[in-house]
């Protein structure tokens, strides 16, 4: 894949954090017979770029105190930004892993990693700075985003997330012709914004790409 920037250069994450996330996202969406998982999809790179965007500091969030815990219905109330959440939670989860298993998360077996992730999900690990469920929720959300968002954001490399489910990406201009067809699968080679930006796919006068149809098989 040709890229204008190196997809393995990180703007926020440290190398130990990259190793942690590479391992964690691979358990959340593993590589298997259906295709590549989140690690190969570049989800760690995606998370890094999200963290260096304005979202990484919650630039559009309301960030004035007082900071109270609130009910579950009242939503996100943490003082920490996503940057701070990832930094603190990865460090503190690794401390837990060192205490429990004598190794950092990335060196655990897949079964042990799943055990840790389940414990984070269920709030059974006490992290020092924040709730484990807050971190896990963010990690899972960002992993899915990184697997399914346009590859222009650094994840979903080679559109592996879209290929897995059969999502064609940027819409073609002739979808209307398929509206009234019954149970006729529309299978196309997915087109990303990145593809169009890089001139790999031709577009019509309105800017819609022409889809290349795939053989109809499952």
Partner 1 sequence: MSIRLKPVDVVVVGAGLVGTIVSKELAETGLKVVCLERGRMLDPQHDFAMPYAHDELKYHRHSDIVQNLSRETITFRNNMNETALPMRELGSFKPGECVGGAAVHWGGQARRFLPWDFETRSRTLARYGKQQIPEDCTSQDWGLTYDELEPYYDQFEHLYGVCGKAGNLNGEIQLGGNPFEGPRSREYPNPPVARTYVGTLFAQAAKSLGYTPHQSPSAAMSQPYTNPYRLMLGQCVRGGFCSSHGCASGAKATPLTTVLPALARHSNFELRPFANVIKVNLDADKKRAVGVTYVDAQGREVEQPAELVVLASYTFNNVRLMLLSGIGKPYDPVGNQGVIGRNYSYQTGGRVTLFFEDKEFNHFIGGGTLGTSIDDFNGDNFDHAGLGFLGGAYVAAQSPGATPIRSTPVPPGTPRWGADWKKNVAQYYRRSFSITLHGSCQSYRTHYLDLDPTYRDANGLPLIRMTYDWHANERKLSGYITQKIVEIAKAIGPAKMSVAEPAAGRYSIIPYQSTHNIGGAVMGADPAVSAVNKYLQSWDVPNVFVVGGSAFPQQSANAPTGTIGTLACWAADAIKEHYLKRPGALLGN
Q: In the range 87-126, which residues lie near partner 1 by CB under 8 A?
A: 114, 117, 121
* Whether the Cβ atoms of residue 123 and residue 23 lie closer than 8 Å to each other: no
Q: What gap in Å lies between CA 43 and CA 192, rounded to an integer?
A: 16
Residue selected from 167, 200, 212, 213 as contacting partner 1 according to rule CB under 8 A: 167
Residue selected from 84, 115, 144, 158 as contacting partner 1 according to rule CB under 8 A: 144
Q: What gap in Å lies between CA 155 and CA 174, rounded to an integer?
A: 28
Nearer to partner 1, 95 or 167 (CB): 167
* Whether the Cβ atoms of residue 76 and residue 58 lie closer than 8 Å to each other: no
Residue selected from 84, 145, 158, 189 as contacting partner 1 according to rule CB under 8 A: 145
Residue selected from 72, 111, 199, 217 as contacting partner 1 according to rule CB under 8 A: 72
**Is there binding between residue 64 and partner 1 (CB under 8 A)?**
yes
**Is there binding between residue 174 and partner 1 (CB under 8 A)?**
yes
C-beta of 183: minimal distance to partner 1 in Å?
A: 5
Residue selected from 3, 34, 95, 200 as contacting partner 1 according to rule CB under 8 A: 34
Q: What gap in Å lies between CA 153 and CA 149, rounded to an integer?
A: 7
* Complete DSSP assignment for 95-136: HHHHHHHSS-GGGS-HHHHHHHHHHHHTT-S--SSS-HHHHH
Residue selected from 9, 180, 202, 217 as contacting partner 1 according to rule CB under 8 A: 180
**Is there binding between residue 164 and partner 1 (CB under 8 A)?**
yes
Q: Is the dihedral of CA 145, 150, 154, 155 positive or negative?
A: positive
Crossing angle of helices 132-148 and 110-121, in 10° steps, is 120
**Is there binding between residue 32 and partner 1 (CB under 8 A)?**
yes
Nearer to partner 1, 98 or 174 (CB): 174
Residue selected from 10, 20, 135, 153 as contacting partner 1 according to rule CB under 8 A: 153
Nearer to partner 1, 14 or 77 (CB): 77
Q: What gap in Å lies between CA 15 and CA 12, rounded to an integer?
A: 10
Among the listed ranges 3-11, 64-72, 97-105, 127-135, the one in contact with partner 1 (CB under 8 A) is 64-72
For residue 138, give the nearest of 199, 179, 85 by alpha carbon: 85
Residue selected from 16, 22, 40, 53 as contacting partner 1 according to rule CB under 8 A: 53
């Amino acid at each position: 894949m040709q890229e204008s920037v190196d997809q393995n250069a990180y703007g926020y994450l440290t190398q130990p954090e990259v190793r942690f996330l590479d391992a964690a996202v691979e358990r959340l969406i593993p590589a298997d017979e259906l295709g590549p998982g989140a690690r190969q999809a570049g989800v760690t790179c995606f998370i890094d770029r999200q963290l260096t965007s304005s979202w990484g500091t919650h630039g559009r969030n309301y960030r004035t105190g007082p900071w109270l815990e609130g009910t579950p219905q009242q939503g996100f109330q943490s003082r920490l930004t996503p940057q701070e959440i990832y930094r603190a939670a990865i460090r503190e989860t690794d401390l837990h892993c060192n205490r429990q298993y004598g190794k950092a998360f990335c060196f655990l077996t897949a079964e042990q990693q799943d055990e840790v992730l389940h414990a984070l999900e269920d709030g059974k690990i006490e992290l020092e700075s924040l709730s484990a469920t807050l971190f896990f929720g963010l990690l899972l959300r960002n992993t899915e985003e990184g697997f399914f968002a346009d590859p222009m954001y650094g994840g979903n490399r080679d559109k592996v997330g879209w290929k897995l489910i059969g999502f064609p990406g940027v819409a073609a201009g002739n979808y209307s012709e398929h509206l009234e067809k019954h149970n006729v699968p529309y299978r196309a080679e997915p087109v990303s914004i990145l593809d169009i930006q890089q001139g790999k796919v031709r577009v019509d006068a309105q800017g819609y790409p022409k889809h290349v149809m795939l053989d109809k098989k499952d």
